[in-house]
Chain A
Amino acid sequence: MGQYLEQPLSWTNGLIFAGAAVALLGIVLFFVMYAIFFQRKILGWMQLRIGPNRVGPWGLFQTVADVFKLLLKEDIIPKKADKALFIIAPVLAFVPSFLVLAVMPFTENWHFADIGGGLLFYLAISSLTVIGVITGGWASNNKYGLIGAMRGAAQMISYEIPLVLSVVGIILMTGSLNLIDIVEKQQSMGVWFAFAQLPAFIIFIIAQLAELGRSPFDLLEAESELISGYHVEYSGFRFAFFMLTEYVYIFAMASLTTVLFLGGWSPMFGLDFIPGIIWFALKMGAIVFFIFWLHATMPRIRIDQLMKLGWKVLIPLALLNIFITAIVKTAFM
């Protein structure tokens, strides 16, 4: 991909870009299907159940069947809903989740846009999803939907601040916002930022779980009290797009964590003969597994605890981490 980016644009190159983007979309959709499958399997094993096992061998085609079921379901728009916004909301939520992948480097050769402000691009675009969530919750004209959307908005905006602050330490050490530069810096230092920036890593993981609305921060869905929150009135494929958004974000967030903190595609233990893309997939898979694992073990946090943790613990800690990093850097300069 790298050499095509340097060349002036021609029709061939444009088609190569488009083809690569479509291929990535296919990979992401495949990932989402099997991430949902493995989530159900893993939760099943952890709760001493079998999990899905009816459709295909070991239930492998369960999610495929689910997708077709959703596609064939009747599309119900409530009479009282705000029709235009009801239709637009899943699109508003989904578009940023896929758009952020445009700057994600998977290996030094397999990457898409290599823009100078890649990290800022990711953070800026991903903050757009909250607009889709509020719009969807409000347009449904449903009390649970609106409460879920309001809670979701309060949670997402509160945890965006620690998320954005936690990575400043990495930017300080790298001196660049470019995601490829960040990986190369980790290679040249010989240590992952997960260790060099341990407080940032912990804050980032917590804040990213809250942004994703995953357990223990799944208050915006909260099946037992809000019956799945902002998308309660959605059915069929419109619901599927909210679901898809959530899992594409898992893909994107796991990739971003790998790039920022786990050295991206760089190999471990000097095992250079294994290609970088495999290392990337392994590290990313480990994070995805960690997210599902938390789902099985953590109870849901209370909303007052959630706000207290965000504003009174994570933000001061993130600020402190920035200054310690800056002082250490000045001392060694």
Chain B
Amino acid sequence: MSGQYIAFFILSLLTISGAIFMISFNRVIHMVVALAFTFLSIAGLFILLEAEFVGLTQIMVYSGGVSVLMLFGIMLTQHSKVERSEQKPALRIFTFAGILAFFVAVFYGIQKTPWSQEAVDYSTQNNVKEIGVQLYNNYVIPFELVSVLLLVALIGGIIMAKKEADDE
């Protein structure tokens, strides 16, 4: 099982360092490339957890998402390096408190979740088929709500783009 640990170690290192670099870089394209590494490593972690379909979906949706983010970065931002303005100490403390509260909430949530004691082996089952059967038998209403959500996003995007284009 040591191979699995090595893979987990590398992937989590890449995930975290990608996220840290994303915050610390100055240029928007650099940030997006760092973000891409984070997303891809998370996909790797999903695959390591035998959630093949979720991992591949992660790659598919987020690789598209990252390239779109790059386009937006090129289109909508100034590319000269931005000088970071010094923040007020009060704001900094406030930010830190917010992050701490978020961490406590997430940590508490993870601790309180009742995990089943036995690990389930999904690797031999047909992952995709099981998800399909579950989704389209037991979770029909959420599934249809997703389509409404996507429609709203689509129409919202069109209206905003239309407005931008008219302004030019």
Contact = CB atoms under 8 A, between A and B. Distances in A.
A175 B133 CA distance: 12
Contact of B67 (A116, A130, A176, A177): A130
Given A116-B128, A123-B60, A134 B71 contact: yes
Contacts of A127: 59-60, 63-64
Chain B interface size range: 20 to 34
A138 B74 contact: yes
A127 B68 CA distance: 12
B67 A157 contact: yes
Given A82-B29, A120-B53, A157-B64, A128 B59 contact: yes
A320 interface: no
Interface string A120-152: 110111011011001100110000001000100
Given A127-B60, A153-B67, A177-B128, A135 B53 contact: no
A138 B29 contact: yes
A78 interface: no
A59 interface: no
A247 B67 CA distance: 22
Q: Is the interface of A mostly helix, strand, loop or mixed?
A: helix
Given A128-B59, A135-B33, A138-B74, A117 B67 contact: no
A233 interface: no
A85 interface: yes
Nearest to B30: A85
B56 A124 contact: yes
B85 interface: no
A191 interface: no
A131 B68 CA distance: 9
Nearest to B58: A124
Contacts of B129: 175-176
Interface in A2-17: 9
B65 to A, nearest CB: 10
Contacts of B71: 134, 150, 153-154
A131 B63 contact: yes
B151 to A, nearest CB: 15
Contacts of A115: 52
Q: Which of B27, B29, B33, B127 has the most CB atoms of chain A within a 10 A radius of its CB?
A: B33
Contacts of A138: 29, 70, 74
A305 B37 CA distance: 35
Nearest to A14: B3
Contact of A131 (B36, B52, B60): B36
A160 interface: yes
B127 to A, nearest CB: 6
A135 B29 contact: yes
Q: Which of A88, A116, A130, A177 has the most CB atoms of chain B within a 10 A radius of its CB?
A: A116
Interface in A227-252: none
A115 B50 CA distance: 11
Contact of A157 (B30, B59, B68): B68
B74 to A, nearest CB: 6
Interface string B108-138: 0000000000000000001111000000000
Interface string B21-63: 0000001011001001000100000000000110011011001
Interface string B62-89: 0110111011001000000000000000
A100 B64 CA distance: 17
Given A131-B66, A157-B67, A116 B60 contact: no
Q: Which 10 A-B pairs have the closest CB atoms?
A: A124-B60, A124-B59, A120-B56, A130-B67, A128-B63, A124-B56, A134-B70, A127-B63, A117-B52, A117-B56
Given A128-B59, A134-B71, 6 more contacts: A115-B52, A124-B63, A127-B59, A128-B40, A131-B36, A157-B64
8 contacts: A82-B27, A117-B56, A117-B127, A128-B63, A130-B67, A131-B36, A131-B66, A153-B70
